[in-house]
Structure 1
Amino acid sequence: MLRDILRGTGVALVTPFNEDKSIDFDALASLINFVIEGGVQYIVTLGTTGETPTLSREEKLDIIQATFSFVANRVPVVIGIGGNNTAAIVKDIETFPIENAVAILSASPYYNKPSQEGIFQHYKALADSTTKPIILYNVPGRTGSNIAASTTIRLAHEVGTIAGIKEASGNMSQCMQILRDKPQEFMVVSGDDNLALAQIACGMDGIISVAANSFPKDFSLLVQAALDGDYDTARRYNNLLLRGYDLLFAENNPAGVKAVLSELGIVKNQLRLPLVPLSAGIHNEVRDYLKTLK
């Protein structure tokens, strides 16, 4: 079951850029090694943390191929394929080189604000286009609409290749409804780093994390301890990282992650417009915080 394969910490990779804003593939290799050596269970490439709205189709194809090459079968890979044009996403699913991926992560359509029936039919169309498992991604703070618990449960029960959800609504009641009513094999993972401990305690299977780019070892140990029921250890790591979560999302994502990774010498502090690097004041706070982790 996908739920067993992806239990633990997944990391939604950033896309490293050079000063000229081209993709820095050497840095991508270094980042992949950093997070795998840090203990993450799997990698998500082309998630929204990877600034996918600013990537061309050709760049996405290059990143997929490079990711598989750099991962070299050490951990499973999930590919993000989403958007707000259902037909275009279906075409991408049918034509992207996803053979070696264990699943597709697809965010609910943004801006359109579809009804719950529209969301259901959107995901059903995606599922009908592939035999790959699909992981729903609910992040209403970015998409402008919420996948209701009832819609998630309907998809989980009625559409065979809908295999899980990354829940980033921040609504604990909604998350608990999904955990109560889902099929046994349906995977539920957190999409909120600062809620992962509490959500795993409620029954989630782990997380697809932003923070695991920056703090893979500590964050992976936190998640594993929580999954093992060792909440004293999990709380200790979570308390250590609480300030880090705030700094990563202080201005925009992934500016916080790239600030940390640039301080660690792994990627350059480069983003594509409309995103910009952290302001000098917050970046200085990042430097000070990193000293507390050593």
Structure 2
Amino acid sequence: MTQFLGTGVALATPFTRENEIDENALRRLVQFQIKNGVDYIVVMGTTAESPTLTKVEKELVKTIIKKENNGKLPLIYGIGSNNTSQLVNDLAKENLDGFDAILSVSPFYNKPTQEGIYQHFAAVSKASPLPVILYNVPGRTGSNMLPLTVNRLANDFDNIIGIKEASGDMVQAMQMIRDTPADFLVISGDDMITLPMILAGGAGVISVMAQGFPSEFTRMVNLGLQRENDEAYKIQFQLMNGMDLIFKEGNPSGIKSVLELKKIINGSVRLPLVEATPELKSALSIFINQLK
């Protein structure tokens, strides 16, 4: 699964000021990623505000991204649920033509045991027509997928090919890298510890920050994969303040403000999220100008 090495971007969904899908902005956003060297795109992840999109809107977004991408980059589709049987049914019906894998979040809100998480993904594995990348993000789901569970899934199901690990726990990430099969992808889901994870043997990142700074972030990741540590850390240290800022008022409000300042999309988000404050936009503007 070398197509998922390097920098993946969790794409935002641009909205007009009238709260409709901004189709032209979405096309610009896709082209911005392609032209600046990212390795693959994740569609309908957390950053896409997918819970606020209707089925019709999701189909529109998928169609635009696939057409604009035109086969240039691998595409991953985010699909998950805390209702296992519903997710299995959705996987049977979802149009996944043009996608190379799915990204499926660990069940949220229910707080399942490790055995419950294992059985959930066993069902997903059997139902999915595409390779599966697990997504562990305890800050959003309310439960943590432990390394032992990840290792069981990696060994028991050939089509479970990796995990987006977003616990923020570097020790846990290293345990996953150490214990899972050599070809299993441990992908950072936390921008701030992407480089340390890569240097420990991780496969790269599915990033929020890289969406606004694709050339800089991708260069850092590539240098890390090439073990050019000193040069990679120079970029890490340049980007760190921005990494803090884009999450200060929640995701994707921060990264949408970056993209607005770069005149790619506007900063509109859908409730219950709210647009970034003028103070945050000012701080992001200063950061962007300093980075030039």
TM range (shorter): over 0.9
Between stretches 16-25 and 81-90, larger displacement belongs to 81-90
Gaps of 5+ in 1: none
Show the counterpart of 2:291: 293
2:52 aligned residue: 54
Structure 2 residue corresponding to 1:66, chosen from 56, 64, 67: 64
Structure 1 residue aligned with 2:160, among 143, 148, 162?
162
Q: Kindly report structure 1 stretches of 4+ aligned residues shifted beyond 3 Å.
A: none
Measure, in 2, the Cα distance between the counterparts of 1:147 and 1:31. Answer: 32
How many residues are paired up?
292
Equivalent residue for 1:94?
92
Bigger shift: 217-226 or 51-60? Answer: 51-60
Identity percentage of aligned residues: 44
What is the TM-score when the length of structure 2 is the normalising length?
0.98
Q: What is residue 198 of structure 1 aligned with on the other side?
A: 196
> Aligned runs of 1:96-175 on 2, under 5 Å?
96-175=94-173
1:263-291 Cα offsets, whole Å, 9 max, x none, are 11100110000001111111111111111
**Residue 131 of structure 1 contacts residue 161 of structure 1 at CA under 8 Å; is this kept in 2?**
no
Cα deviation, 1:122-150, whole Å, max 9, x if unaligned, reads: 11111111231000000001110000100
User: Structure 1, residues 230-252: CA drift from partner, whole Å, max 9, x if none?
Assistant: 11111111111011101100010
Matches within 5 A, 1:1-294: 2=1, 4-294=2-292
How far apart, CA to CA, are the structure 2 residues paired with 1:188 and 1:64? 26
The answer to whether the Cα contact below 8 Å between 1:16 and 1:268 also exists between their aligned partners in 2 is yes
1:160 shift after superposition: 1.8
Residue-by-residue CA offset, 1:14-61 (whole Å, 9 max, x unaligned): 000011111111111100100111110000000011001111122112
Unaligned 5+ residue runs, structure 2? Answer: none
- Code of the aligned partner of 1:247: L
RMSD of aligned residue pairs (Cα, Å) = 0.9
Deviation at 1:92, TM superposition (A): 2.1
Distance 1:40 1:239 in 2: 20
Asked if the contact 1:61/1:96 (under 8 Å) is kept, the reply is: no
Task: Name the SS for the 1:16 alignment partner.
Answer: coil
Distance in 2 (CA, whole Å) between partners of 1:125 and 1:231 is 40
Q: Any idea what SS the aligned residue of 1:220 has?
A: helix
Inter-partner Cα distance in structure 1 for 2:26 and 2:92: 25
Q: What CA distance in whole angstroms lies between the structure 2 residues aligned with 1:281 and 1:130?
A: 44
Letter in 2 for 1:259: S
- Matches of 2:275 and 2:20, distance apart in 1: 16
**What is the alpha-carbon distance in structure 2 between the residues aligned to residue 219 and residue 255 of structure 1?**
19
Q: Quick check: 137-146 or 54-63, which moved more?
A: 54-63
Q: Within 1, Cα distance between the matches of 2:73 and 2:185?
A: 18
- Greater CA drift, 220-229 or 178-187: 178-187
Q: For the residues of structure 1 that align with 2:60 and 2:83, how far apart are their CA atoms?
A: 22
Give the match's secondary structure for 2:104.
Answer: strand
Distance 1:256 1:265 in 2: 14
Counterpart residue identity of residue 185, structure 2: M
